[in-house]
């Protein structure tokens, strides 16, 4: 599996340290608000589980599954494969995402959840690739783990064709792997 990883971008230790910081920040800001953390499947799974373990206040879990990607190319379109399981109207909601790339997925997810009239809606993304943003994206990340360069990364939940999600670190996928 490691033969297609050209370099480690974020070590397991760097990720854990930053996820703890984010969780501490949100624990302070959301104390007493019983927020709902909506994880966008499947890429967010590792980040979601670690973040929730470090979040020290009452909160609830929920998930959305949207589909917008094939391989490394964004299609710009998304569909809801699985919606949140509870009524979020009047609740404090935080979207947890693995990566803010073109922005299409987060824009879609944000608009979809905003229509359900939560009391507040914020975005927390582990990774942000600002160089990749496309025109027309109005959402911004309220909380960001790491800003990263414009390279295709895998690991810690992120995949290439469903592979590499189980790496405990974030690595850069070597371009030769795309052709295989």
Binding site for Mg ion (CB under 5 A): 43
- What φ, ψ does residue 92 adopt, rounded to 5°? -90, 120
Check if the beta carbon of residue 80 is closer than 8 Å to that of residue 120. Answer: no
* Residues 79, 1: Cα–Cα separation, whole Å: 31
Candidate residues 101, 109, 126, 144; the one interacting with ligand IMP per rule CB under 6 A: 101
Q: How far is the CB of 142 from Mg ion (least distance, A)?
A: 22
CB-wise, 12 or 29, nearer to ligand IMP? 12
Instruction: Look up tokens 């299609």; give the residue.
Output: 75
Q: Which of 94, 92, 113, 99 is nearest to 144 (CA)?
A: 99
Find the catalytic residue in 62, 83, 98, 101.
101
Q: Verify binding: residue 98, ligand IMP, rule CB under 6 A.
A: yes
Using the rule CB under 6 A, is 125 a contact of ligand IMP? no
Reduced DSSP (H G I as helix, E B as strand, rest coil) percent helix, strand, coil of the chain, to 5: 25, 35, 35
Q: Which is nearer to Mg ion, 39 or 43 (CB)?
A: 43
Of 71 and 136, nearer to Mg ion (C-beta) is: 71
| Greatest CA separation for the chain | 50
Verify binding: residue 153, ligand IMP, rule CB under 6 A.
Answer: yes
Nearest approach, Cβ of residue 70 and Mg ion (Å): 10
Helices (H), the chain: 12-29, 45-54, 104-114, 176-179
50 is catalytic: no
Helix, strand, or coil here: 178? Answer: helix
Nearest to 110 by CA among 123, 125, 99, 100: 123
Is 105 one of the binding residues for ligand IMP (CB under 6 A)?
yes
Whichever of 66 and 121 has its CB closer to ligand IMP, that residue is: 66
43 is a site residue for ligand IMP (CB under 6 A) = yes
Q: How far is the CB of 48 from ligand IMP (least distance, A)?
A: 12
**Range in contact with ligand IMP (rule: CB under 6 A) among 15-23, 85-93, 110-118, 153-161:** 153-161
* Binding region for ligand IMP (CB under 6 A): 43, 68-69, 74, 97-106, 152-154, 158-159
């Amino acid at each position: 599996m490691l033969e297609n990883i050209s370099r480690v971008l974020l070590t397991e230790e760097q990720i854990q340290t930053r996820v703890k910081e984010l969780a501490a920040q949100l624990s302070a800001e959301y104390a007493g608000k019983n927020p709902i953390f909506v994880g966008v499947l499947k890429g967010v799974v590792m980040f979601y589980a670690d973040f929730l373990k470090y979040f020290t206040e009452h909160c609830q879990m929920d998930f959305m599954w949207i589909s917008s990607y094939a391989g490394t190319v964004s299609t710009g379109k998304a569909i809801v494969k699985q919606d949140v399981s509870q009524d979020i109207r009047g609740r404090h909601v935080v979207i947890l995402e693995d990566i803010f790339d073109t922005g299409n997925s987060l824009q879609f997810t944000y608009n979809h959840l905003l229509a359900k009239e939560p009391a507040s809606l914020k975005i927390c993304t582990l990774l942000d690739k600002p160089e990749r943003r496309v025109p027309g994206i109005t959402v911004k990340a309220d909380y960001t783990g790491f800003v990263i360069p414009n390279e295709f990364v895998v690991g810690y939940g992120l995949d290439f064709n469903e592979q590499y999600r189980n790496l405990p670190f974030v690595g850069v996928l070597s371009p030769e792997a795309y052709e295989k």
